[in-house]
Chains A and B, each alone.
Chain A
Amino acid sequence: MNNKAVLVVDDSFTVRQQVGLTLTSAGYQIVEACDGQEAVDALRAHAEVAMVLCDVTMPGMDGLEFLETIKGDAAGPPVPVVMLTTDGSPDLIARAKRAGAKGWIVKPFQPHLLLAAVRRIAGEPG
């Protein structure tokens, strides 16, 4: 068990719920956001967030814009960000990588593999 918080950014309540159940079962806390702007605000409001799982296609600020916004002029985002999306386009993946993302997951995901990915990014034993 652990007390790390993961920010889950997706416009789909179903996906946020699915990810949330997967991670809370392993002891993670969950913070949710519906789009990129909400995610920017959530990162400011929740210092306990240690990692972000973020969709790409969302209304308003999308996931890649969110990633580029929080990176700003720094070398990378303030916390690890993994994109979780239906899109597998190499161009988008390259853009995310340039903006400092730590990984890319193509939906749909297997819960145990998602949990393993989160643990790996968090530096925890699988």
Chain B
Amino acid sequence: MAPGDSNEARLTELLCLSAATLLADLGVQPEWRTGVRQPPPTGESVAAFSGFANNELRGSFALLGPRKLFARLHPLPQTMTLRDWADWARELVSQAVGRFCNRLLAYGVQLATSVPQGALAKEVRLASSLDPARSPILFTIEGLVLEGWLELDIAPSFRLEESPLHEARAALREGTIVFF
């Protein structure tokens, strides 16, 4: 495995762990796997993505899944209206990317994030613009599938440390409250 491949594989794993722990915090226990594609989803879907970047690493993370799944994950499902679907998907992908960036701080990698975008769609299928052969990360939640697409554009100079070395720079964990 080339160093660049190792970086990508480890960044992907960190992203998967970040998204999986977020989903667990929302009350579900996802199983996740890579290397396979799903048939295009039928019916109404929700998609959202958010970007991140520094001088050596840039990319984005997209989530695509059926409306029913986003409703399952919503903190106030009984209140959802049509305009809530894309809004909630944006917030969800924002929290996943935020968690990923928080994890990377402990490795000395600081990323700026973008404002997330979201959309409702029918029979939409995502694909990687950087690598057509890439497959998504599939989170299976109570029989429903949430596709995650991680795009990474890694500079040759980028190297992810083998383990978190910068504990002093580590981010606050999710759910933490501090007062000044």
Which residues of chain A have a CB within 8 Å of any CB of chain B? 11-15, 17-18, 21, 57-59, 85-91, 93, 97, 101-110, 113-114, 117, 120-121
Contact = CB atoms under 8 A, between A and B. Distances in A.
B174 A106 contact: yes
Interface in B70-127: 74-76, 79, 83-84, 87-88, 90-91, 94-95, 97-99, 101-102, 105, 110, 113-115
Chain B interface helix/strand/loop/mixed: mixed
Nearest to A100: B180
A86 B115 CA distance: 12
B95 A86 contact: yes
Contacts, number: 105
A86 B94 contact: yes
Given A14-B87, A14-B88, A87 B98 contact: yes
Give the bracket for the number of chain B residues in contact with chain A: 35 or more
B25 A108 contact: yes
Given A57-B113, A87-B102, A90-B169, A14 B91 contact: yes
Given A88-B173, A89-B110, A106-B175, A13 B83 contact: yes
18 contacts: A15-B91, A86-B94, A86-B95, A86-B98, A87-B98, A88-B176, A89-B171, A90-B171, A101-B180, A103-B179, A104-B172, A106-B171, A106-B173, A106-B174, A107-B174, A108-B75, A113-B177, A114-B177
A123 to B, nearest CB: 12
